Structure 1
Amino acid sequence: MDDLPTLKILTLGDASVGKTCILLRFSENEFPLSTMPTIGIEYKTKVIELRGRKINLQIWDTAGQERYHRTLATTFYKRVHGIALVFDLTERSSFDHVESWVQQIQQKADPKVAVVLVANKMDLVENKDFIEARTFADSHCLPFFAVSAKTGEGVSEVFESLSEMIIKRDPAALSGASSSSNHLKSNTQPSSQFKCCNNF
């Protein structure tokens, strides 16, 4: 695995939206009946095949609690290739907070970062047109995915599509320029805004 190109992906969103469950479903095909709140930041890895070659995905699971996020944000926004921004379809406030998460990404992440919006817990809602979420995603040029960490529906597509976006935007990510080190360094300047819709 050390010899494979590594793409670093960050999961962001409010506490209890299901970031950890999405990560466990994708990396281990498991759904925990209960989880403890993530404290700080943790990661899982999974090897996928993309464009005919194997790629190591290093996916970082962040705490949603603001007190942890304020401390970790500056360091862990940097040097990631992609971000999955997650909200809970059964918790309105988590969607209301998506705008502030987007603003933080704009301020602190690399301008080339690929971002997707992920609506979790679709198995718990009857109305599946997600018009408001899709409208928000379109207005911010974010690809939108509705998923269920519990059933697994849509989860793999999130990370596979995000990986494809990363490579399309930055082909050098497959050249070995991306270290497989577990340490995310911070040495780039934050961006103030997304350049254009084509960023995503």
Structure 2
Amino acid sequence: MTGFYDLTKMNIMSKTFTQIAELNRLQQSYPNNGNKLLHRMLIVEAIVTTTKNNKNNNKSKSASEIVGFCDVDCRPSNIQLKIKLPRPYISDLTINNHHRRQGLAKLLVQESEQFVIDRYNNKKKENGVDVVDDDIDIWIRVEENNIAALKLYQNALGYKITNWSTSTGTSTYKEEEEEKENDSVKSVSSNTTEDATTKIKIWTLRKILRK
């Protein structure tokens, strides 16, 4: 976890709480009986090679470590939650601090998109027919001050900001109003760890994978 989250400003108790909370969240998100066709965590692994030098020979040892991951969820939104999220939905996209700016985040998003497309194609084969007017789309949420992520999603991957309201779980999204959506973005408030009174807008972005 230390490579993914900034724990340098936390005391020991805060670090421990953060790690336990994250472990619990992952366990809750991925139960043993989870449906892999609807919900997956995608990871990026790096091969780390260490070499020990001695007088006789050099011995190398290789091991893999997770340097990035994201969650892609096609399960129906839980109606008991106060905050409704669109589906399919990408979340928890994180890259290790030492492996950023290598295109790994983009690859994870693209793999998530392919997972959604493959799921649709498999479903179509099972049913034997294509669904009329059934767009294949995918969603992601990002804080408005995360400029790097917004550039990645909008400029490099083709996502567009929508007017999804997470408080109601409904969307009035219309294709012909794409150009006007930046002015009608609805936000949800979240507290930062540094200042509980600071409000950060969270934008919901959508990409149509197939019309």
Q: TM-score, normalised by structure 2?
A: 0.32
Which one scores higher on RCO, CA 8 angstroms, separation ≥ 6?
Answer: 1
Q: Which has the larger radius of gyration?
A: 2
